[in-house]
Amino acid sequence: MGKPNIWQVERPAGKTLIYMLFLNLQIMSINKIISLNILSLMLVFMTSSCETAETQKTTPSGNEKITKRVVDECEECPNMDDCCCTLTLLTSNAVMFQTCGTTDGDASTCDTETPMGCETISGKWNSTFELSTSEPTVHFCMAEISGFLLKSVTAGTVVLTLTCQTDQTNPQTIQITFTGPGSKYFEVNSDCEVSECP
């Protein structure tokens, strides 16, 4: 005969009640342990899901956040042979801009049609940035022999200078004017000389 099952063993009547109470207490403590483990796992999942939701919040469309530019100095360009470009505000009214086609973009890859007669525009968008009398200059990086888009998102006329030879002694510089919101297309050659597309 094998080992007797605890439920099948005969016990005196008084001890059976005590034994059943003892088994019930053991089952209850096992249930408490399982319940505590489940509760702990739920708390871990809730905590991590809250953190994930917080980090995935986005800015509502149309309310772009003004962010600090990625490149503060030419040495920060991502590629050694990049042209370091500088856009400088000459007028007193503040203006908001975006660029498309740069190598230092802080947003997604941009997709825009390249105007006929202009070098291909491919690269990254930069978040909207502001030029004002207190911060009239911004830097961005361009690959040699490439095109880029400069987009004003502000009403009013503004005059600026643009060079992509910032790190050279006598940089070639052009003057550009925006008369309200709109886009202008530019290209950079192998000497980092910049020109407006035809």
Q: What is the DSSP annotation of the chain?
A: --PPPTTTS---HHHHHHHHHHHHHHHHHHHHHHHHHHHHHHHHHHHHHHHHHHHT--PPTT-PPP---S-SSGGG-SSTT-EEEEEEE-SSS-EEEEEEEESS-SSPEE--PPPTTS--B-EEE---EEE-SSS-EEEEEE-SSEEEEEEE-SSSEEEEEEES-TTSSS---EEEEEESSEEEEEEE-TT--EEE--
What does the mean pLDDT of the chain come to?
A: 77
Assigned domain for 2 exists: no
Question: What is the mean predicted confidence (pLDDT) over 1-5?
Answer: 57
Assigned domain for 29 exists: yes
Assigned domain for 78 exists: yes
My answer on whether 83 and 51 are in the same domain is no
My answer on whether 177 and 94 are in the same domain is yes
My answer on whether 86 and 183 are in the same domain is yes
Assigned domain for 64 exists: no
My answer on whether 140 and 177 are in the same domain is yes
My answer on whether 47 and 94 are in the same domain is no
Of 28-42, 70-84, 107-121, 164-178, which gets the smallest average pLDDT?
A: 28-42
My answer on whether 185 and 135 are in the same domain is yes
Cα 83 from Cα 85, distance rounded (Å): 6
Show the domain range for 47. 12-57
Cβ atoms 137, 88 nearer than 8 A: yes
pLDDT of residue 115 exceeding 90: no
My answer on whether 52 and 126 are in the same domain is no
Of 29-38, 138-147, 170-179, 188-197, which gets the smallest average pLDDT?
A: 29-38
Assigned domain for 131 exists: yes
Of 77-91, 125-139, 180-194, which gets the smallest average pLDDT?
A: 125-139
My answer on whether 91 and 184 are in the same domain is yes
My answer on whether 53 and 87 are in the same domain is no
My answer on whether 18 and 108 are in the same domain is no
Cα 195 from Cα 147, distance rounded (Å): 10
Q: How many domains does the chain have?
A: 2
Q: Which residues contact 31 (CB under 8 A, 6 or more apart)?
A: none
pLDDT, one tens digit per residue, over 41-76 is 665 555 555 444 443 333 333 444 444 445 677 888
My answer on whether 81 and 53 are in the same domain is no
My answer on whether 100 and 188 are in the same domain is yes
Assigned domain for 113 exists: yes
Cα 101 from Cα 64, distance rounded (Å): 19
pLDDT of residue 20 exceeding 70: no
Q: Which residues contact 190 (CB under 8 A, 6 or more apart)?
A: 144, 145
Question: What is the mean predicted confidence (pLDDT) over 162-172?
Answer: 93
Q: Which residues contact 85 (CB under 8 A, 6 or more apart)?
A: 139, 140, 141, 142, 162, 163, 164, 166, 188, 194
Assigned domain for 1 exists: no
pLDDT of residue 161 exceeding 90: yes
Predicted local distance difference test score (pLDDT) of residue 125: 80
Assigned domain for 53 exists: yes
